Amino acid sequence: MSMFKSRVALHWRILAGLVLGVVAGLLINTLWTSTTWDTLGVHDPKVFLGGGVAAEQSTSPGGTNEYADFTARSARFVRNANEFVGDLFMQGLKFIAVPIVLFSLAAGVASLNDTAKLGRIGGKTIVTYLITTAVAISIGLLAANVVKPGKYVPVETRDALEAQYEASATEKVTGANEQRARSTWDIALDIFPSNPFKSMSEGKTLQVVVVGLLVGMALTLMPTKESDPLVQWFQGMTNVVIKIVEVILIFAPIAVFALIVKVVADLGLEVLGSLVVYCLTVVGGLAVMMFLVYPMVVRVMTPIGYRRFFKAISPAQLLAFSSASSGATMPVTMECVEKRLGVSEDVTSFVIPVGATINMDGTALYQGVAAVFIAQMFNMDLTLAQQLTIVLTATLASIGTAAVPGVGIVMLVIVLESVKIPVEGIAVILGVDRLLDMCRTSCNVTGDCMVASIVGSSENELMSEAEVAAARAKPLDEHPPL
Ligand code: ASP
């Protein structure tokens, strides 16, 4: 592993990847919209860049400008190569998600040997997740009511955006209808697997959590002579998976660069202009949550200071931002919380997978702002009762939001309908959704880390900063310096 050693800390390398990725992405984005495309007679560069046949045929009516043609093809190649690298990295993380949850939970619960403690950790985790989500939506609602972003969008812009994104908005509404067709009982039943192998092959995190808990509990009920080798096997497999995460993490800066290049290159920056106040309201609310509320709670309820908290979890935050998926980020979040923050494996292996699935503070906050924004655009005044309904439905909707890109806006449809806000409004905000998705996912992951810290601390399962440093320096562990 020594050939990968770097003196620069992982979070700085990832941040460098992010910044460079934004610059490179903007460059490609500029080529998208520059006269290059006009010269080529291409009206939708994304279609052009996506399709080989279209690319061959897309020459200007007056003949091909060789220089422009070369520029466009190079831009296409760079964008697609980056998409490939980013996707490869995401595959690696998804590869690790199910085994890490299963092995570490089974090993953790078996060695814990204390069902009462397990119940306590579970109770604290769920209650804290619900409270923080409700706080997040309230911050979103407050910000939207004070700033009134909906009043900054002229009716013509609203109508133009609505027409432009109508088709994709209809898709989201259909997605929401499918979600709603499932009753609360179905959703609750879906937590419990009927076939553990199917749960694993389909990557259903909550079901895999249940499998891990059951296996771990069964092990505690067996005679030690029989269970010991199995517990050791699960622990050994956990260590194997953690090593794989560490190897994958070495490539995180390159992956973050690649993921960002692709996103920024595809971004429709023109839309941003008319929705800037709305975007700033969402981002401002998320920033308050991430940089004020969470660290304040951590400071009050644990011995972890501001700097230590962010230094430990920033790789997960930056990866969540780049990938817009808290599910895919989960193995890295677990690694950061356990190895860099010092929360025990027992607590981490339960709190993080559950959080990645049900705790979506950023998504809930975003849904609060978006609901009020759309209502304001349609000149609807929301009463206090309606806003409280939003708090309730957005809390439930965020629990039901899958930890993958773009689902928050699908669940927003349910929130809007609960207070009769026109769902056509979704079309207006679709153009900037990816950007906000990246920000809210980062907040979702930070929330999970915060809850893991306070549960770990309350259970006396949190290392001091010195202990973390000593554990990471152990030669036995041979950590790459992440
Ligand atoms: N992308 C978010 C996540 O994975 C979910 C969403 O808000 O769309 O956490």
Q: Give how far Cα 398 sits from Cα of 237, 392, 402, 413, Å.
A: 32, 10, 8, 12
- Residue 88, number of CB atoms within 10 A of its CB: 12
Q: How many domains does the chain have?
A: 1
331 within ligand 1 shell (Cβ under 6 A): no
pLDDT tens-digit map of 353-404: 999 988 999 999 999 999 999 999 998 889 999 999 999 998 888 887 888 8
DSSP state of 378: T
Task: Answer whether residue 274 is part of any domain.
Answer: yes
DSSP alpha helix (H) spans, 113-154: 115-147
Residue 476, SS3 per DSSP = helix
pLDDT at 3: 47
Q: Establish if 50 belongs to a structural domain.
A: no
Output the CA torsion 289→443→394→396 (10° steps): -120
DSSP-assigned letters across all residues of 382-403: PPHHHHHHHHHHHHHHHHHS-S
What atom of ligand 1 comes closest to residue 403's alpha carbon?
Answer: 4
Tokens for 368, please give them: 């609060």
User: For the chain, give me the number of helices (H) and strands (E)?
Assistant: 25, 0
CA–CA gap between residue 129 and residue 151 (Å, rounded): 33
Q: Which amino acid is at 220?
A: T
Q: Which residues of the chain have pLDDT under 70?
A: 1-6, 32-68, 180-183, 268-271, 474-482
Within a domain: 70: no
Q: What is the pLDDT of residue 177?
A: 74
- Residue among 441, 446, 448 to mutate when testing ligand 1 (max atoms within 8 A of CB): 441
Is 47 inside any structural domain? Answer: no
**Does residue 232 belong to any structural domain of this protein?**
no
Give the model confidence (pLDDT) of 106-161 as tens digits. Answer: 988 887 777 788 889 989 999 999 999 999 999 999 999 999 999 888 888 888 87
CA distance 444 to 362: 5
Report d(CA 47, CA 63) in Å as an integer. Answer: 20
- Residue 462 DSSP code: B
AA identity, residue 334:
M
* pLDDT tens string 45-73: 555 544 443 344 444 444 456 666 777 77
Q: Which of 332, 358, 435, 437 to mutate to test the pocket of ligand 1 (most atoms within 8 A of CB)?
A: 437
| Residue 287 structural domain | 112-193+269-471
Q: Which two tokens stand for residue 108?
A: 């953790």
List the CATH number of the domain containing 169. Answer: 1.10.3860.10
Cβ-contact 449, 313 below 8 angstroms: yes
Counting from 1 in the atom list of ligand 1, the atom nearest the Cα of 404 is 4
Place of tokens 């969402």: 282
- Per-residue pLDDT at 42: 52
CA of 29 relative to ligand 1 center, distance in Å: 24
For the record, the structure tokens of 221 come out as 């009920």
- Can you give the pLDDT at residue 317? 96
Percent of the chain's residues with pLDDT above 70: 87
Q: 218: CA distance to ligand 1 center in Å?
A: 34
Mutate to test the pocket of ligand 1, among 172, 323, 360 (most ligand atoms within 8 A of CB): 360
Q: How far is the CA of 354 from the centre of ligand 1 (A)?
A: 14
Amino acid at 222: M
Q: Are 428 and 267 in contact (CB under 8 A)?
A: no
Residue identifier of the C-alpha nearest atom 1 of ligand 1: 405
Which string of DSSP letters, residue by residue, matches 64-92? --HHHHHHHHHHHHHHHHHHHHHHHHHHH
Whether 74 is in a domain gets the answer no
Position 42 in a domain: no
Q: What is the pLDDT of residue 391?
A: 92
Task: Give 343's strand partners.
Answer: 462
Tell whether 170 is covered by a domain. yes
Q: Report how far residue 431's alpha carbon sits from residue 216's, in angstroms, rounded to the nearest whole number.
A: 45
Closest CA to 371 of 293, 269, 278, 270: 278
pLDDT score at 396? 86
